[in-house]
């Protein structure tokens, strides 16, 4: 007979309740097990859903004139729903995205990046060009949901998306190799005896690339990571990331050089803040982690003498201006923790607590700040972490192991 737990071994207090629920849940059918072992409350996610997510799964940024929804917003919300163990909402978010952004068939086209009120008053796709960062987050959320919820359909859809991204949004750029473009059209330009590629460093979280190296072994993802390294090395002279960068290759040349982006210049602001966020969440053991810490140390330096992150930085000179919103502070929490910048981390945590986590309903910040807040504070609260393999480690997997696939050492 198995040895019974001695009284001193039995969990007590709140842990005893959780233990009993999870033990009971392991004996229940899957449909009942989820309610038997509930995930921890996530107030910021609940607020986000109430403010920005329709019942049918559409995420709306009400601050825009078109009341638009974007593929980025849909993919981020799917990731948060997975972290929150909110499978019903995860399914609705994905179903809405496929039906409205991909014409009902994810195998036939990549999701359009923007949907909303059209000039004639009707609702529909505003810009059919797909956004590669959203497609990576869609694929990652689906792949990890397929693993933890044992749903092969999700995994198959993730592979379908990745194959399309590899075919349509990855270009072999001279001197860089396979490189992720922001979209399938409009970012590879020719003229005046040269070719120019416009790139967005914030589109590439390294942990996602690691996951794709396992999910799609023949794919270009390892090479895309090497290209990303060259982009960072060539565009961060003062330790700051730019929103947009440009790479110009003379006609017939085997390699080119990074130049000032013709449209956005060398400003680092609302896009670039995510580059620090992803860098902070990259495991220390990742081969690119030392590069990320070294090439992106400018923001930590700026916060040694400023209480608030700058809204804009001229990446060529390091000149900063303005005060970034609270979402910037939230995005920098993992980055500051990883760099062990304790004083700056404490100051930004206090700002986030006051203006985001404890803000009254009428004083809640806008959509993008809340998105950055969910990423940054969710990681800091260890609701999720990225393992060296790229696999997602979820807090609720530990509490309810019977509801996820068997784990393996990363």
pLDDT digit of tens for each residue in the chain (410 aa)? 333 333 333 334 444 444 444 444 444 444 444 455 666 799 999 999 999 999 999 999 999 999 999 999 999 999 999 999 999 999 999 999 999 999 999 999 999 999 999 999 999 999 999 999 999 999 999 999 999 999 999 999 999 999 999 999 999 999 999 999 999 999 999 988 999 999 999 999 999 999 999 999 999 999 999 999 999 999 999 999 999 999 999 999 999 999 999 999 999 999 999 999 999 999 999 999 999 999 999 999 999 999 999 999 999 999 999 999 999 999 999 999 999 999 999 999 999 999 999 988 788 899 999 999 999 999 999 999 999 999 999 999 877 765 554 433 33
Counting Cβ atoms within 10 Å, is residue 284 exposed (0-12), middle (13-18) or buried (19+)? Answer: exposed
Element (H, E) at 267: strand 267-268
C-alpha 172/C-alpha 192 separation (Å) is 21
Contacts of 26 (CB under 8 A, 6+ apart): 33, 402
Catalytic sites, residue numbers: 72, 133
- What is the distance, to the nearest Å, from the Cα of residue 90 to the centroid of all Cα atoms in its chain? 15
pTM of the model: 0.90
Q: What is residue 198's DSSP assignment? A: E
> DSSP H helical segments within 313-409, as ranges?
326-331, 333-338, 342-352, 367-380, 395-399
User: Within 13 Å and on the Cβ side, how many CA atoms surround 65?
Assistant: 4
Q: How many residues does this entry show for the chain?
A: 410
Closest CA to 36 of 404, 405, 400: 400
Q: Give the CA distances from residue 274 to residues 230, 301, 372, 376, in Å, rounded to whole numbers and listed in that order.
A: 18, 17, 8, 10
Contact (Cβ atoms closer than 8 angstroms) between residue 181 and residue 227: no
Reduce the DSSP state of residue 56 to 3 states and report it.
coil
Q: What is residue 355's DSSP assignment? A: I
CA-based radius of gyration for the chain:
22
Q: What is residue 247's DSSP assignment? A: E
C-alpha 130/C-alpha 166 separation (Å) is 13
Cα-flanking dihedrals φ and ψ of residue 394, to 5°?
-105, 140
Angle at 58 between CA 37 and CA 153, to 5 degrees: 60
Closest CA to 42 of 384, 332, 277: 384
Angle at 270 between CA 264 and CA 272, to 5 degrees: 75
Q: Give the CA distances from residue 289 to residues 35, 207, 227, in Å, rounded to whole numbers and listed in that order.
A: 39, 10, 15
Contacts of 148 (CB under 8 A, 6+ apart): 82, 392, 394, 397, 403, 404, 405
């Amino acid at each position: 007979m198995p040895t019974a737990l001695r009284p001193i071994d039995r969990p007590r207090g709140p842990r005893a309740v959780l233990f009993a629920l999870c033990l009971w849940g392991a004996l229940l059918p899957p449909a009942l097990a989820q309610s038997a072992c509930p995930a921890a409350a996530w107030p910021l996610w609940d607020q986000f859903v109430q403010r920005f997510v329709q019942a049918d799964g559409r995420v709306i940024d009400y601050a825009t004139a078109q009341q638009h929804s974007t593929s980025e917003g849909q993919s981020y919300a799917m990731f948060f729903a997975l972290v929150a163990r909110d499978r019903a909402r995860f399914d609705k978010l994905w179903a809405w995205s496929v039906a409205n952004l991909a014409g009902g068939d994810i195998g036939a086209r990549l999701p359009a990046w923007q949907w909303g009120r059209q000039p004639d008053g009707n609702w529909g796709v505003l810009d059919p060009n797909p956004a590669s960062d959203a497609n990576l987050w869609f694929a990652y959320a689906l792949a990890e949901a397929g693993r933890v919820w044992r749903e092969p359909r999700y995994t198959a859809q993730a592979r379908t998306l990745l194959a399309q991204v590899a075919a349509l949004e990855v270009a072999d750029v001279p001197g860089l190799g396979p490189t992720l473009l922001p979209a399938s059209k409009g970012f590879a330009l020719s003229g005046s005896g040269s070719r120019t590629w416009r790139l967005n460093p914030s589109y590439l979280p390294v942990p996602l690339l690691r996951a794709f190296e396992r999910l799609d072994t023949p794919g270009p993802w390892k090479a895309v990571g090497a290209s990303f390294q060259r982009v960072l090395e060539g565009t961060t002279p003062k330790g700051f990331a730019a929103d947009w960068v440009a790479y110009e290759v003379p006609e017939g040349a085997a390699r080119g050089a990074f130049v000032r982006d013709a449209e956005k210049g060398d400003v680092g602001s609302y896009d670039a803040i995510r580059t620090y966020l992803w860098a902070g969440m990259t495991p220390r053991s990742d081969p690119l982690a030392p590069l990320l810490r070294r090439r992106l140390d400018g923001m930590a330096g700026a916060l040694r003498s400023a209480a608030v992150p700058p809204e804009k930085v001229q990446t060529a000179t390091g000149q900063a201006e303005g005060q970034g919103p609270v979402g910037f502070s939230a995005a920098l929490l993992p980055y500051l923790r990883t760099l062990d910048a304790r004083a700056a981390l404490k100051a930004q945590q206090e700002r986030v607590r006051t203006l985001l986590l404890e803000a009254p309903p009428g004083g809640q910040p806008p959509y993008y700040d809340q998105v950055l807040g969910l990423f940054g504070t969710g990681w800091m609260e260890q609701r999720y972490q990225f393992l060296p393999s790229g696999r997602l480690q979820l807090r609720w997997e530990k509490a309810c192991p019977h509801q996820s696939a068997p784990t393996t050492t990363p």
